[in-house]
């Protein structure tokens, strides 16, 4: 019988990484988004000690009970709202993720959405393609230079957005649970309401949790200027989408740039698809060849390190690792 650890792979791996994993582990493939407890036999599940998966795998009590020998699960994502971290920690299952390597790519989409909204670039493209230009000029748009950028959340991605915004001469303000010493000289800390009231562009950079779900709601949107744009490249459910649609329809804010939505993939029947003051992307913040490669490298390294007894680079619940030592 093989002595290699058995691992679930529920992510598409580049061939070289698959070979690397196969050299030291027995791979059990589970199609992305399918629940291991539904597709694997109890006998197989009982032997699984590691897993690498996407956000589509819900790591909850049901899954943890179905994989009693699991010691580590490595998320191919920086976000981990697919994981019940408390349940994993209490079962001593180490959770790993992929921070840092995607900060620049997500910040780029944030800035891109901001430019698309203020300069109406998506409508401008359609205007030229349709021949409308031959009948008249495209309507004037708005500058982002000099406008105040507000960041709800100042973590790794928020800091890169703030640095990039400096090149656009944008004063940056932010609100966090705590003032961030690393943001000194980059952005000014303000109260939460002041952030919504003052920002010309308000960009969301907080993780999804029970506390942050719908934390940008009717009240917050009503504080915003009618000229302001909301950008969300974090997680859809942080924003109350029904309240956002209402604000966009009423013109109480100028527009929204969304890379994430409450329901993904977003159906074409969503009212968001009807609104002219919205720019939509398909949750592609980190979706470049370079960044996704760096993420999968990190996810696989985290898994192999943990299985091999070496401290992984990125752990969500490091207390599990410390307890092992
Ligand atoms: C993407 O949304 C991620 O969390 O990595």
Task: Tell me the mean pLDDT in the region 51-77.
Answer: 98
Say what the pLDDT of residue 246 is.
98
Closest ligand 1 atom to Cα of 295: 5
103-280 to CATH, choices 1.20.1290.10, 3.30.450.20, 3.40.50.720, 3.30.230.70: 3.40.50.720
Q: Give the mean pLDDT of the chain.
A: 97
Q: What's the pLDDT band for 150 if we cut at 50, 70, 90?
A: very high
Overall average pLDDT of the 53-62 stretch: 98
pLDDT tens profile 132-146: 999 999 999 999 999
pLDDT at 325: 81
What's the gap in Å between 31 CA and the centre of ligand 1?
A: 19
For the Cβ of 77 lying below 6 angstroms from any atom of ligand 1, the answer is yes
- Strands 94-96 and 188-189, by their bridges, are unpaired
Q: What is the C-alpha to C-alpha distance for residues 105 and 156, in angstroms, rounded to an integer? A: 12
Report the percentage of the chain scoring pLDDT > 90: 99
Kindly report, residue by residue over 1-29, the tens digit of the pLDDT: 678 999 999 999 999 999 999 999 999 99
**164 ligand 1 Cβ < 6 A:** no
- Cβ contact 266:284 at 8 Å: no
pTM of the model: 0.96
CATH number corresponding to 6-101+290-324: 3.40.50.720
Q: Beta-carbon neighbour count of residue 72 at 10 Å?
A: 26
Burial class (CB in 10 A: 0-12, 13-18, 19+), 201: buried
pLDDT of residue 1: 60
Distance from the alpha carbon of residue 97 to the mean position of ligand 1, in angstroms: 9
| pLDDT tens, position by position, 255-306 | 999 999 999 999 999 999 999 999 999 999 999 999 999 999 999 999 999 9
Q: Where in the chain is the domain with CATH 3.40.50.720?
A: 6-101+290-324, 103-280
Q: CB of 53 within 8 A of CB of 8? A: yes
- Per-residue pLDDT averaged across 81-100, rounded? 98
pLDDT for the residue 147: 98
Q: Report how many helices (DSSP H) and strands (DSSP E) the chain contains, helices first.
A: 13, 12
């Amino acid at each position: 019988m093989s002595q290699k650890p058995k691992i679930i792979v529920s992510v598409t791996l580049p061939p070289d990484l698959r070979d690397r994993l196969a050299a030291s582990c027995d791979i059990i493939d589970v199609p992305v988004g399918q629940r291991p407890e539904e597709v694997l036999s109890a006998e197989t599940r009982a032997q699984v000690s590691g897993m690498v998966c996407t956000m589509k795998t819900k790591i909850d009590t049901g899954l943890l009970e179905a994989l009693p020998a699991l010691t580590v699960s490595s998320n191919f994502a920086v976000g981990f709202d697919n994981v019940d971290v408390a349940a994993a920690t209490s079962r001593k299952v180490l959770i790993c993720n992929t921070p840092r390597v995607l900060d620049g790519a997500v910040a780029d989409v944030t800035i891109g959405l901001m430019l698309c909204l203020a300069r109406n670039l998506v409508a401008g493209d359609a205007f030229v393609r349709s021949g409308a230009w031959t009948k008249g000029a495209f309507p004037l748009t708005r500058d982002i230079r000099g406008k105040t950028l507000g960041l709800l959340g100042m973590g790794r991605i928020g800091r890169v957005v703030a640095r990039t915004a400096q090149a656009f001469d944008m004063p940056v303000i932010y609100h966090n649970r705590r003032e961030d010493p690393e943001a000194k000289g980059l952005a000014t800390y303000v109260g939460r309401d002041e952030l919504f009231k003052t920002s010309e562009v308000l960009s969301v950079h907080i993780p999804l949790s029970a506390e942050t779900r719908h934390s940008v709601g009717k009240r917050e949107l009503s504080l915003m200027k009618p000229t302001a744009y909301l950008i969300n490249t974090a997680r859809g459910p942080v924003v109350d989408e029904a309240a956002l649609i209402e604000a966009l329809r009423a013109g109480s804010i100028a527009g929204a740039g969304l890379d994430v939505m409450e329901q993904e993939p977003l159906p074409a029947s969503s009212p968001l698809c009807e609104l002219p003051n919205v720019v939509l992307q398909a949750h592609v913040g980190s979706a470049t060849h370079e960044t996704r490669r760096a993420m999968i490298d990190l996810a696989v390294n985290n898994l192999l390190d943990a299985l091999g007894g070496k401290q992984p680079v990125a752990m969500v619940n490091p207390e599990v690792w410390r307890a092992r030592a």
